[in-house]
Chain A
Amino acid sequence: MSETKKIEKSEIKKLAGLSKLSLTDAEIDSLTGDMRSIIAFADKISGAAISVGDDDYGAARELRADTVGVGECFTPGVLLSNAPTDDGAYFILPRKCP
């Protein structure tokens, strides 16, 4: 980024959408200010010298064997235990709030 462009409210709104956040107008205002500061801070990276060294791919790992887990059995009941809505079998996402 050769020159720091100040991020606009419209971009903040788009970013909020991508982040799946609902922001009030007041929040958008204050966040815009915050984000401008934070992005300016992140923009310092533009001053970094581009360097390419040897790729370090790490050590080769042994991958997992294809055998069905014999350890703990996770029943639907256990997996659903924290679900806000379920019927004992499915996770339920109600279209309308109850």
Chain B
Amino acid sequence: MVIGLETHVELSTRTKIFCSCPTDFGGEPNSHCCPVCVGLPGTLPVLNAVVVEYAVKAGLALGCRISEVSKMDRKNYVYPDLPKAYQISQFDMPLCLSGLVELSDGAAIRINRIHIEEDAGKLVHQNGDYYIDYNRGGVPLIEIVTEPDFRSAEQVREYLEKLRLIMRALGVSDCKMQEGSMRCDVNISVRRVGDERLGTRAEIKNMNSIAFIMKALEYERSRQVEAARAGEPIAQETRRYIESTGETEPMRGKEDSDDYRYFNEPDIPYILLTKEYIEELRAGLPELPDAKLARYVSEYGLAAKDAAIIIRYPGLSAYFEEMARISGAAVRSANAVITSIFRRIPDEDGRERAEGLPPAGYLAEAIKLADGGGIPAASYKGVLDRILETGRPFGELYSPEDFAGIPADKLARIAAEAVAANASAADGVLAGREKAIKSLVGAVMRATGGKADPELAVAELRKQIEIYGGRKE
């Protein structure tokens, strides 16, 4: 399988690329529009400085060469969501060229180019008629084009997740596929192992979910391999993914194979960037995911796998670093995030928002205490959970006696009492039903007001159960 991706990323500027209309999502139809983005006669595009800035930052973060001279071009085609009947894009002199994204398996995905362009409006079908809303028209996009360097669907997934992480770290896009701020066209072909030449490729357009992309790739791979084995030709065509079946089908052919008749946009002068401008942006780039991961491994001693998980959520990463700083125990802090916090916030959205967490210092304090032996190992998890749940610090939730533990003879007595009161449970354990011990543990915990160490309680109960068993005989 040979795959290339073209990813459209919506830039999170305040205004559109060629006019000062707001880019806010939603809103009444045609309420974020003006004569320029509706393409009324006599209007002219005026390029947004921050669009160029964001595109250059994206290019720098992906290792691209930034063009000091680039230009805009017109891509001419007719469709009702395109008000000028041409899209202002970049054809032969894009802003960024020749970048690279490295994946965890060592694969190097080459970025062919990144260019800026405007988005089209939205067309909805109602009773067979077209209803057109130009709010999205003119929203700035960057198009990131890779070489056909992907060899598996997993690589595609990792690339897209990494891309999203980078764009969000840069603050240039929120890359929310479900909201449409990141969309993908996937080009896929197959060839025999060892074959140098590329097979005919099919293009699946406008994919806006990583899960669907994975399914589509799987379907395409089998479809193309089957066709190749049967000696049937694979058409170079545009296909669409069908959500309900997980299959792809050819898109209804456009009547004229579009000749876009690209030529330079005469209303926009050349975009000239100085070396100083580019270097200033480069110097101001935030820490990117690769660098962060490396730092987590070297500075904090985290396992790469754990670091990779944490850096996916910038909010939680910051939280982790704060915990590590205060507690001085980085690995414990990381584990706290990956186990306790993740358990508490099971969904992606929540983890990205990282809201409702107590100050990092509270958890860090508990970690420090545990390290110093002030919290028994068995209770540690419960303490963290309670701090997360209540949002209060250790000192307000527990007193020193809570972990002083139960004296051994008192525990033995309570355990014996529990066994005596729950003979059937004791019989069950003797008979080999391990689960039966739970009710005995519960009884002990209740009798000790939750202060018994559960492990010690279990150990003591087993002793008592044996004694009980011995008595029976």
Contacts and interface: CB of A to CB of B under 8 A. Distances in A.
B31 A76 contact: yes
Contacts of B30: 76, 79-80, 89-91
Contact of A64 (B35, B46, B78, B259): B46
Nearest to B259: A18
Given A66-B13, A92-B131, A75 B31 contact: yes
Given A20-B78, A64-B48, A64-B49, A58 B38 contact: no
Interface string A56-98: 0111111111111101001110011000000101111111100
Interface string A25-53: 00000000000000000000000000000
B138 to A, nearest CB: 12
Interface residues of B, number: 42
Given A57-B272, A60-B272, A68-B14, A74 B33 contact: yes
Contacts of A69: 15, 19-21, 34
A89 B122 CA distance: 13
Interface in B219-262: 255-256, 259, 261
Contacts of A92: 129-132
Interface in B60-91: 69, 78, 80
Given A18-B256, A92-B131, A95-B129, A65 B49 contact: yes
| Majority secondary structure of chain A interface residues (helix, strand, loop or mixed) | loop
Interface string B3-36: 0000000000111000111100000111101110
B29 A89 contact: yes
Nearest to A71: B20
A59 B272 CA distance: 8
Contacts of B124: 90
Contacts of A74: 33-35
Nearest to B85: A20
B369 interface: no
Interface residues of A, number: 32
| Majority secondary structure of chain B interface residues (helix, strand, loop or mixed) | loop
Given A63-B48, A76-B30, A79-B30, A68 B15 contact: yes
Contacts of B128: 95-96
Nearest to B33: A79
B248 to A, nearest CB: 27
A63 B52 contact: yes
A90 B14 contact: no
Nearest to B277: A60
B382 interface: no
Which of A18, A71, A90 has its CB near the most chain B CB atoms (within 10 A)?
Answer: A90
Given A66-B14, A79-B35, A79-B38, A90 B269 contact: no
B256 A17 contact: yes
B403 interface: no
A75 B21 CA distance: 12
A87 B124 CA distance: 14
B270 interface: yes
Contacts of B131: 87, 90-92
Contacts of B46: 64
Contacts of A60: 272, 274
B47 interface: yes
Nearest to B69: A57
Nearest to A62: B49
A89 B14 contact: no
Contacts of A61: 269, 272
Contacts of B80: 91, 93
A57 B132 CA distance: 37
A90 B48 CA distance: 27
Contacts of B47: 63-64
Nearest to B24: A68
A90 B49 CA distance: 30
A66 B269 contact: no
Given A17-B256, A63-B52, A94 B129 contact: yes
A57 B51 CA distance: 20
Which of A61, A63, A66 has its CB near the most chain B CB atoms (within 10 A)?
Answer: A66
Nearest to B18: A64
B119 interface: no
18 contacts: A14-B256, A17-B256, A60-B272, A61-B272, A64-B48, A66-B14, A75-B31, A79-B30, A79-B35, A79-B40, A89-B28, A91-B133, A91-B134, A93-B130, A94-B129, A94-B130, A95-B128, A95-B130
**Top 4 nearest A-B pairs by Cβ distance?**
A69-B20, A63-B49, A66-B50, A93-B130
Given A69-B21, A93-B130, A94-B130, 4 more contacts: A20-B78, A64-B47, A68-B21, A92-B130
Interface of A: 14, 17-18, 20, 57-69, 71, 74-76, 79-80, 87, 89-96
